[in-house]
């Protein structure tokens, strides 16, 4: 390895991860199976476009937001989540949301971290009627279980690899 590439590799290992500037989440969060979330989506779809919705799906992927996303999800990249928790809370409170469901690619890193931060905030403000949860297996688990069903912007080529 050249000195220049060795220095670059060393610099990469010296750089703290993006989440290092934020506190570690404290609150435990419930993990929902893909089947539970599918049931929520199907129930909501049966109510029509004007039906009340009690949950919000949040995809916290950033540049790896490929292959599609679980239907009706909003994308709030994980690196922006901590700072925007008060706004997310206010919007969910006003909309009557009871469960905020977070996920990333596999829901083993960003999804649980963001759900924990959100639950920490809900606990700090004394909010007992809204909870944060994690989609177990993330979008990869969803796609494995359901393929393109209930996915927006589904890209079969991405999943074929």
SS3 at position 66: coil
Q: Is residue 142 within 8 Å of 105, Cβ to Cβ?
A: no
Q: Hunting for tokens 């909870």 — which residue is that?
A: 131
Residues 111-152 have pLDDT tens digits of 999 999 999 999 999 999 999 999 999 999 999 999 999 999
Residue spans of alpha helices (H) in 18-128: 34-46, 78-95, 110-124
Q: Note the pLDDT tens digit of each residue in 16-36.
A: 998 999 999 999 999 999 999
Look at the block and give the residue holding tokens 């893909």: 34
Nearest Cα neighbor of 101 from 29, 149, 160 is 29
- Residue 54 Cα distances to 18, 92, 101, 111, 131, angstroms: 31, 9, 11, 19, 11
137 sits in the region (left: phi over 0; alpha: psi -120 to 50; else beta) called left
* Per-residue CA distances from 116 to 66, 123, 131, 133 (Å): 24, 10, 10, 8
CATH class as words, domain 30-153: alpha beta
pLDDT(61) > 90:
yes
| Average pLDDT along the chain | 90
Is 0.95 surpassed by the pTM of this model? no
């Amino acid at each position: 390895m050249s000195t220049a590439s060795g220095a670059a590799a060393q610099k990469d290992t010296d750089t703290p991860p993006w989440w290092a500037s934020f506190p570690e989440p404290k609150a435990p969060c419930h993990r929902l199976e893909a089947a539970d979330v599918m049931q929520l989506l199907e129930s909501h779809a049966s109510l029509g476009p004007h039906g009340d919705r009690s949950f919000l799906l949040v995809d916290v992927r950033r540049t790896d937001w490929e292959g599609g996303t679980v239907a009706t999800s909003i994308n709030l990249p994980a690196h922006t989540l901590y700072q925007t928790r008060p706004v997310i809370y206010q919007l969910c409170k006003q909309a009557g949301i009871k469960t905020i469901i977070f996920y990333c690619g596999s829901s083993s890193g960003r999804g649980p971290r963001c759900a924990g931060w959100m639950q920490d905030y809900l606990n700090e403000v004394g909010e007992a009627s809204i909870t944060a949860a994690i989609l177990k297996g993330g979008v990869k688990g969803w796609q494995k279980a359901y393929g393109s069903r209930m996915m927006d912007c589904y890209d079969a080529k991405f999943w074929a690899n």
